[in-house]
Chain A
Amino acid sequence: MLGNGIHQNGKFFITHSDLHHRDSAIRTTHTHQKFFIFLLIAAIGVGIFFNARETAIFLVASITIVYFLDLLFNLFLIVQSFRNPSEIEVDRDEILSLRNEDLPSYTVFCPLYKEWQVVPQFVRAIERLDWPKEKLDVQLLLEEDDEKTVEEIGKMTLPPYFRILLVPHGQPKTKPKACNYGLGYARGEYAVIFDAEDIPDPDQLKKAFIAFRRAEATGDRIICAQAKLGFYNANRNILTRLFSAEYALWFDLVLTGLQSIKSPIPLGGTSNHFRTRDLRMLKGWDPFNVTEDCDLGMRICKLGYHTVIFNSNTMEEATSRLGNWMRQRSRWIKGYMQTYLVHMRRPQEFLMDLRNPHIITFQLVVGGKIASMFINPFMWVATASYFLFRPIVGEAIESVYPGPILYMAVFSLVLGNFLYMYYYMLGCLKRNQGELVKYVLLIPIYWLMMSIAAWKAFFQLIFKPHYWEKTTHGFHLATETAEMHAAQAEEFKEQEVLVPSPIQTFSEEMLLESVAESDLETRNELQAVGKRKIV
């Protein structure tokens, strides 16, 4: 796995993954997909040329039906999440019953890029994890060319179970590539990804371990346990409040609803837990996909496995600046588009279990989510125009909405928009974030921003498909929590648990020692890439 890559257009990309190029977003679209898109556009063009009105009716009807189905599907998910709460609940007693000697080793991946400021916070969060430290393998995955971060972290004193891996310079320079690199050196039986600004619940690893143990006992094909994400700076400004409401809806209602019907779950960017061997079997992450987590969630489903949500939270930093939010959001949407295109190359793979046709949920969860962001602005403009300029455009708009379609459209417009807004409120209530509920009334503005980000993502998908727009973290450190972190830093000194840890250099022997003897595949790979500089 380590040192492996993909050859494309005369270039060789080191991806540290065995993922086949047809499962990768290295090419945005394959020839047959391009042909299909061309045919679709041509058909619409011909339709408009010969019979513009009928074509418009067909398009409006198609869009309306998709919206209507999406509305019903989301309603179903929300009802499911209330009626059949399927997230795994692990209680305190079960955690207390675990004995340290029975716990396996756990690898924590923490990819970092130009965000050394948040490392002390991360170290503290990991220190608080309720897991025997001698069984922790925390990897700080730094980019070789990120000299400032390397230098700053080199000055820090890190706990002994932390190690620094420098990901060799090269394209693509993405988080999934760094994680693949880390996976090659993972010592743990289990593995989890945390972002550098994350603060997971202290008992999260134990809860994840119990979730896997339960699945093994019941024979469930569970391969990934996803903790819920939230924000510790939710009340910073309106943007963070709306962002928090969105997360509350996504993790507390939508994902639990999806889990209850065992549908494909787009993983969150962090706090997804795996057995390391499963992660290797899945061939890691796609380094060309800018939402590698969503892509991995789909691959898990296609292979007949499931993801579960469990009752643990990881608190992150919500981006509090509009430009930063726009960069992050457009990357996410671009990644969803990449994922959609990758998995629509062979959609029949979703149909392996005909009793549970995941192709439909995939279309609604990934495809529908993207499509609505592009179409929404047009629908809003059409609605506003209808009421504001009815004498001028009223007749034209009415003429493309035949009876049943009009009913569906009005239903989706009035009830649909209301329900979508209301779901955010329910998410906040379920997460005990009542203070955010009133801000949900501003959510239409947030939707508009998402649509703008979607168009930005669309152009990026064409011109810079693999470009990873980095989200800057640590804004919160400069303001309201600066004092808290200073106090935390003091506390670290007082604890005197740290040993000086400059950037560690791992010899091939050391790496080989870290891999179990039974894991011949990894050992062979390590020996094969042994001559590469591993710092």
Chain B
Amino acid sequence: MKFFHTLSDFISKHAEKIILLLAVILSIGSFIYYYQAGLITAYGDSRGHLNIARRVVDSLTPGVAQLGGYWLPLLHVLMLPTIWNDFMWQSGLSGSIPNMIAFVIAVLYMYRLGFLVTGNKLSAFIAASVLLFNPNLLYMQATPMTESLFVCTITIFMFYFYRWFREGRTSDLVLAAIFLVLSSLNRYEGWGLVIAANVLMIWRWVEHRFDKKMEGAMIAFGTLSFFGIFLWLLWGAIIFHDPLEFMHNTWLEKARQGTSLVLGKKWVGDGDVHEAILVNSYAVFHMSGIITFVIGIFGWCILLIRKRKALYKSENVLIFILLAPIFFDILTVYIGKISIEVPGLSTSAPPGDYFNIRYALFSLPLVATLCSVVTKKKFIQVIIVVCIALSGLVFNQEEGRGADVLRDAGSQEDSPDFIESSAWFKNAFDGGLILASTGGSDRWMFLTGIDQQNFITEGSHGYWDESITNPSKYATWVVIPVNNSNDSLERNINKNILRMHFNLEKENKSFMIFKKIKGD
């Protein structure tokens, strides 16, 4: 018992320093672990992110106009200082660095948020430990994916928003809005958060009987928080002449149709609200880990009992806002815009049981907050921290891979044909421009390691349009995926000219690679 008290006193005294130190150690440690295991770019999407950032500095038509399309740009912008370096690009480190920094900051702000909610350093430490020892987040922060960054921006947003709610300082409201903008420029769940936060502001205004000061705060917050969304729509209008380009992206629709054709059924939760809620809840359960999830549920019950007579207290506001990204995912699953698959509720077909389960990582700040309110008894607090740490870092190791998200990543694993064709091309490439689509061949391009300035893609402005109708004008090579309906090249290229001026040099189940006939 004395040991627990000594330990808890030590943690309380040096809490922020301990948390920072642990976060840095775990962040770097997990990066080294996954780097050695060759899993940094296991997600196919991570290679897409790296390529988008790379094309800003290394492309036939370099520049910021390479940003845009379906994916929001924050991570790509943060990669720009390092992506020009070949090692940083190919290793994925260019994307890992901002995510690792984001992880450390997220843990620190989770601690601060926990302290703000509970006023107790050990409780705040519990909140931080939920992020700190989560194997899924530890893996994601080592990769060039957007999840770790999003957890960071929403945690900081919540910290300032909650503090404004309690203390009313204008600077807190502005900082909250700034981090909301960053969230909305990183993931579309951030858009849900923008809407939820503004609904709360309107409610607050009404609650204050249309008070003028609150009206000003509401409008100022709304103006800034929607600015990220406005920028994205404006960007779409300027670059693609379609502000809603990200919604009109053909990839999702094709993927839906593909699943329907294979299974003869819709995605899980599509059009079924109960199923949509269930699949998201299971995903939260998987991403939190069983022990943390149970403690979180317990914390929620305590909060409901304690505050049931004061429904509009700031804690409930916090819970409402933290639930927003989950609500957003439930909605998008329900309307069929995304698919999340969990064991027992999956379509039991490719892409697999854990497909997109990582989206539930955005529930971690909520789970962490709920865990922090469970108790203020030092002894139990220390036990909770130890349990969370052990469940995350020891008990949750399955198949030696450490995190459920790796199964999700595994669903995007490249086929042997895919790898074989990229390796073949890496050796065969002897110069000239390569015509390929980012929609169907982006990951393949990354695997070849060939500089992006050698590729004619959709972002190559005039080159692309001319090459579609006349492939021989600029290109020496043409790369077309086999039976990939996402590939705009396969759909649009002038096949007569292709056959006339190019030889098929390589074909397997994944790709067809054409080379221009010599002297043509």
CB within 8 Å of B: which residues of A? Answer: 82, 403, 407, 414, 418, 422, 425-426, 428-430, 432-438, 441
Contacts and interface: CB of A to CB of B under 8 A. Distances in A.
Interface of B: 63-64, 170-171, 173-174, 211-217, 219-220, 223-224, 227, 231, 234
A535 to B, nearest CB: 49
A435 B220 CA distance: 11
B63 A403 contact: yes
Given A403-B63, A425-B220, A435 B170 contact: no
B219 A435 contact: no
Contacts of B217: 429, 434, 437
Contacts of A441: 223
| In the complex, the 6 A-B pairs of residues with the closest C-beta atoms, listed nearest first | A434-B216, A437-B216, A435-B212, A434-B213, A425-B220, A434-B212
Given A403-B63, A434-B217, A436-B216, 19 more contacts: A82-B170, A82-B171, A425-B216, A425-B219, A425-B223, A426-B170, A426-B220, A428-B216, A429-B170, A429-B173, A429-B220, A432-B213, A435-B212, A435-B216, A437-B215, A437-B220, A438-B215, A438-B216, A441-B223
A414 B212 contact: no
A82 B173 CA distance: 12
Nearest to A432: B213
B169 to A, nearest CB: 9
A254 to B, nearest CB: 16
Contact of A438 (B63, B173, B219, B227): B219
Contacts of B63: 403
Contacts of B171: 82
Contacts of B224: 422
Contacts of A82: 170-171, 174
Contacts of A426: 170, 174, 220
A255 to B, nearest CB: 17
A418 B171 CA distance: 18
B219 to A, nearest CB: 5
A423 to B, nearest CB: 11
Contact of A429 (B216, B231, B234): B216
A425 B177 CA distance: 13
Contacts of A425: 216, 219-220, 223
Given A407-B64, A422-B223, A425-B223, A434 B231 contact: no
22 contacts: A82-B170, A414-B231, A422-B223, A425-B216, A425-B220, A426-B174, A428-B220, A429-B170, A429-B216, A430-B170, A432-B213, A433-B216, A434-B214, A434-B215, A435-B215, A436-B216, A437-B219, A437-B220, A438-B215, A438-B216, A438-B219, A441-B223
A365 B135 CA distance: 52
B2 to A, nearest CB: 44
A428 B218 CA distance: 13
Contacts of A414: 231, 234
Contacts of A403: 63
A436 B216 CA distance: 7
Contacts of A429: 170, 173, 216-217, 220
B232 to A, nearest CB: 12
Contacts of A428: 216, 220
Given A82-B171, A429-B170, A418 B227 contact: yes
Contacts of B214: 434
A148 to B, nearest CB: 40
Which of B212, B216, B223, B227 gathers the greatest number of chain A CB atoms within 10 Å?
B216
Nearest to B64: A407
A259 to B, nearest CB: 18
A408 to B, nearest CB: 12
A418 B63 CA distance: 23
A436 B223 CA distance: 14
A58 B210 CA distance: 52
Nearest to B215: A434
A430 B220 CA distance: 12
A437 B63 CA distance: 37
A507 to B, nearest CB: 55
A433 B224 CA distance: 18
A430 B217 CA distance: 10
B80 to A, nearest CB: 12
A407 B212 CA distance: 39
Contacts of B215: 434-435, 437-438
Which of A407, A418, A429 gathers the greatest number of chain B CB atoms within 10 Å?
A429
B229 to A, nearest CB: 13
A238 to B, nearest CB: 16
Contacts of A434: 211-217
A175 B231 CA distance: 47
Nearest to B205: A434
B329 to A, nearest CB: 30
A30 to B, nearest CB: 45
A82 B174 CA distance: 11
A435 B223 CA distance: 15
Nearest to B216: A434
A418 B220 CA distance: 12
Contacts of B170: 82, 426, 429-430
Contacts of A436: 216
A385 to B, nearest CB: 15
Contacts of B234: 414
A208 to B, nearest CB: 26
Contacts of B211: 434
A433 B211 CA distance: 11
A428 B174 CA distance: 13
A493 B86 CA distance: 86
A425 B217 CA distance: 9
A226 B224 CA distance: 31
B141 to A, nearest CB: 29
Contacts of B173: 429
A527 to B, nearest CB: 56
Nearest to B63: A403
Contacts of A433: 216
Which of A418, A425, A428, A432 gathers the greatest number of chain B CB atoms within 10 Å?
A425
Nearest to A85: B171
A435 B211 CA distance: 9
Nearest to A403: B63
A434 B208 CA distance: 13
Nearest to A429: B170
B60 to A, nearest CB: 15
Nearest to A411: B64
B64 to A, nearest CB: 7
A407 B213 CA distance: 37
Contacts of B219: 425, 437-438
A414 B217 CA distance: 23
A428 B215 CA distance: 11
Nearest to B237: A387
A441 B234 CA distance: 18
A278 B219 CA distance: 45
A196 to B, nearest CB: 30
Nearest to A433: B216
A428 B217 CA distance: 10
B251 to A, nearest CB: 28
A429 B212 CA distance: 10
Contacts of B213: 432, 434
Nearest to B231: A414
A189 B211 CA distance: 45
Nearest to B211: A434
Which of B63, B211, B220, B234 gathers the greatest number of chain A CB atoms within 10 Å?
B220
Nearest to A82: B171
A425 B218 CA distance: 11
B259 to A, nearest CB: 39
A429 B220 CA distance: 8
Nearest to B234: A414
A83 to B, nearest CB: 8
A502 B482 CA distance: 102
Nearest to B173: A429
Nearest to A430: B170
A422 B174 CA distance: 10
